[in-house]
């Protein structure tokens, strides 16, 4: 069977561990990954994980993850003919700034472009938004995207699986995203009344 191919976009919203967990799980599932970290995504990632982004990136490149600079609009991912061969684009975590750009067709970096192209090419697009509380602009932007078939939602892990650790909460969120992409996994406990 052909490997699944995903693009993971990481923006400067809080929630670097969601992105880190997504990467770890995707690699375990043998998914081929292309990553784009926005400039503030790199900084927030380093701040929240106490890890150098450059070293993190290097370690992943060694095992075959492709990184693209957010300023590189010459990247192959900016092209519909390339992106249409992918199984999905995930923005995790997604800032309300990137949400606003995507919902309104404003393209000022490669993440925005990839999302814009995903919508036009019908590539599954998922935005895991992180902000609290939301203002009407955020809510309207999410609704606008949902109406186009984009899964744009506020990250909201469930507690019915009785999480014991923070990692359980990240895994729940990543698992739900993989479910939306119809990628099989067993990383969180599905609802079953015991
Ligand atoms: C530590 C830190 C945490 C942040 N958390 C959020 C957040 O949860 N949600 C959000 O929308 N923006 C958050 N921001 C602000 C974004 O990083 C900022 O608006 C940035 O311009 C977003 O651009 P980007 O989407 O290209 O990364 C945070 C910034 C910092 C420094």
CA distances from 150 to 66, 105, 111, 158 (A): 24, 13, 15, 21
Please tell me the residue having the least CA distance from ligand 1 atom 14: 13
Ligand 1 atom nearest to CA at 101: 25
* pLDDT confidence tier of residue 167, bands split at 50, 70 and 90: very high
Instruction: Give me the architecture of the 5-180 domain, per CATH.
Output: 3-Layer(aba) Sandwich (3.40)
Please tell me the residue having the least CA distance from ligand 1 atom 13: 13
Is the pTM above the cut of 0.95?
A: yes
pLDDT at 193 over 70: no
- In the chain, domain spans: 5-180
What residues contact residue 91 under an 8 Å CB cut-off, 6+ apart?
Answer: 9, 10, 11, 98, 102, 111, 115, 125, 126, 127, 128
Q: What is the mean pLDDT of the chain?
A: 96
User: What's the 112 CA to ligand 1 centre distance in angstroms?
Assistant: 15
Q: What is the pLDDT of residues 54-111, one digit of tens each?
A: 999 999 999 999 999 999 999 999 999 999 999 999 999 999 999 999 999 999 999 9
The pLDDT of residue 194 is: 62
pLDDT at 1 over 80: no
Question: What are the b/e assignments for 25-35, b being 16+ CB within 10 Å?
Answer: bbeeeebbbbb
Tell me which residues have their CB closer than 6 angstroms to ligand 1. 11-14, 38, 40-41, 44, 47, 95-98, 130-131
User: What's the 87 CA to ligand 1 centre distance in angstroms?
Assistant: 27
H helix or E strand, kind and range, residue 137: helix 136-147
The pLDDT of residue 190 is: 80
């Amino acid at each position: 069977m052909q490997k699944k191919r995903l693009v993971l976009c990481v923006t400067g919203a809080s929630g670097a561990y969601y992105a880190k967990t997504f990467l770890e799980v995707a690699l375990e599932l043998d998914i081929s990954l292309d990553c784009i970290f926005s400039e503030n995504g790199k900084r927030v990632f380093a701040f929240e994980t106490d890890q150098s982004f450059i070293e993190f990136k290097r370690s992943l490149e060694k095992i075959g993850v492709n990184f693209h600079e957010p300023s590189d609009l010459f990247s192959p991912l900016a092209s519909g003919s390339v992106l249409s061969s992918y199984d999905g684009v995930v923005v995790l975590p997604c800032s309300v700034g990137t949400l606003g750009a995507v919902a309104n067709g404003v393209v000022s970096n490669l993440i925005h472009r990839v999302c814009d192209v995903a919508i036009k090419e019908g590539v599954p697009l998922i935005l895991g938004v992180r902000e609290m509380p939301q203002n009407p602009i955020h809510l309207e932007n999410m609704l606008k995207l949902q109406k186009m078939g984009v899964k744009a939602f506020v990250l909201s892990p469930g507690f019915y699986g009785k999480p014991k650790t923070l990692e359980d909460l990240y895994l729940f969120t990543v698992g739900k995203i993989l479910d939306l992409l119809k990628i099989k996994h067993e990383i969180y406990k599905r609802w079953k009344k015991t």
